[in-house]
Structure 1
């Protein structure tokens, strides 16, 4: 009488197939993590501090390569970590850089002045209603940020918490990617 033996070759084939899937998923996870950490990610807008440029619920494509390729500059819309001591619901803020290291910035009669010149601000639809801000020179390694919504108490920004270390800037907002009908470059 002969005994029937199970076919182990078939078991090895299934094991190899599972291991191939596990390796592929691990590689994909590592690639996604590296891309999210160092290159780009998507972030949602919360609140009205960037009106009329950005609206609550819009999704932004955030370019994180600014730390490697080109530092953030005046006029850039950026996502930054909330500075210590700020009273915000979110650990991140979306703001516009209005002054960089070496710039003197102040607010007078509802207007923003950078280096003694009134700043051209086509992205906002109102004057600054929060009063006067005395001249301040931005230190090396820092930026001065403001929300585009200049109505009274509409934006918690550098006028209340001061200049922000560039190290807190996560990345530059490049595009609005959601909703699709609102897709646009910033």
Structure 2
């Protein structure tokens, strides 16, 4: 009987093969990357393939995070330049309406589509040429970084930016004070509920007519506010050009406990429009109806 065909040879090494090790079963082994156990598979030549989450995979993730962060900053800068900009309130000149440390959101679209600044609006404006004189330009890089921080509400606004309340618009005659100590606009007394308790409407008497295209502005904390009254003798007479208005203060967004809209006032609802012929202006800028 031919037994050779029924005989099969065994690989001499097969008898010596050890039983599979559970720790290395399926050709894998446990490794620790940054203190976290992970499993990597051996390639055909025994090389170890990188597992997701190792140091090689973290590079692109950090780059994506950086790109996303930069895109967010660019988007916020775009919004602050064209739509709404946060401002940090550095002084108490607008108390109690706005307090030191408040961050307000200024609506830059409020006067962009035909709307005009109104009496009673709280506005942020560039006081260059009216409240402050032109200054030589400083370091452009430092100025750019500071402007970017201010645009995000992370730094105090530029020293030429101010926040005040509009009391008179172009053509108005604004007088302080009547026999009861109140401001009048176009001959109508204005009761100002937003003033700091204990403050008088003004310790400085004035009688002015607001030129067209300009505004007469005052702070709510009259005894602590440097406003149009302090520039009566300056070029422009304390008037702020309308085209210098950055926007209207519409919201308080920080701190969270004061998160609210800036309350509108009806104090000027009964004030009539200025006369069609305008007010005549007497000596030293005094208005005479």
Q: Which residue of 1 aligns with 2:77?
A: 33
**For 2:226, which of 150, 156, 171 is the aligned residue?**
156
> Larger strand proportion, structure 1 or 2?
1
Decide whether aligned partners of structure 1 residues 129 and 105 sit closer, same or farther in structure 2, where only a CA change above 3 A counts.
closer
Q: Which residue of 1 aligns with 2:109?
A: 65
Uncovered stretches (5+) of structure 1, i.e. residues with no partner: 1-13
1:83 touches 1:164 (CA, 8 Å); kept in 2? Answer: no
Q: TM-score, normalised by structure 2?
A: 0.52
Deviation at 1:83, TM superposition (A): 3.4
Structure 1 runs of 4+ with >6 Å offset: 22-26
SS at match of 2:110: helix
d(CA) in 2 for partners of 1:129, 1:85 = 20
CA deviation map 1:87-135 (0-9, x unaligned): 698221110001111111111154211101111211113213422112x
Uncovered stretches (5+) of structure 2, i.e. residues with no partner: 1-56, 134-157, 232-237, 263-289
Tell me which structure has the larger Cα radius of gyration: 2
Q: Which residue of 1 aligns with 2:125?
A: 80
Higher relative contact order (CA 8 A, sep 6+): 1
d(CA) in 1 for partners of 2:131, 2:82 = 26
2:126 touches 2:245 (CA, 8 Å); kept in 1? Answer: yes
**For 1:123, which of 185, 188, 194 is the aligned residue?**
194
d(CA) in 2 for partners of 1:79, 1:87 = 15
Deviation at 1:48, TM superposition (A): 1.3
**For 2:163, which of 72, 84, 94 is the aligned residue?**
94
Q: TM-score, normalised by structure 1?
A: 0.78
Is the counterpart of residue 133 in structure 1 residue 181 in structure 2?
A: no
d(CA) in 1 for partners of 2:188, 2:204 = 18
d(CA) in 2 for partners of 1:164, 1:85 = 6
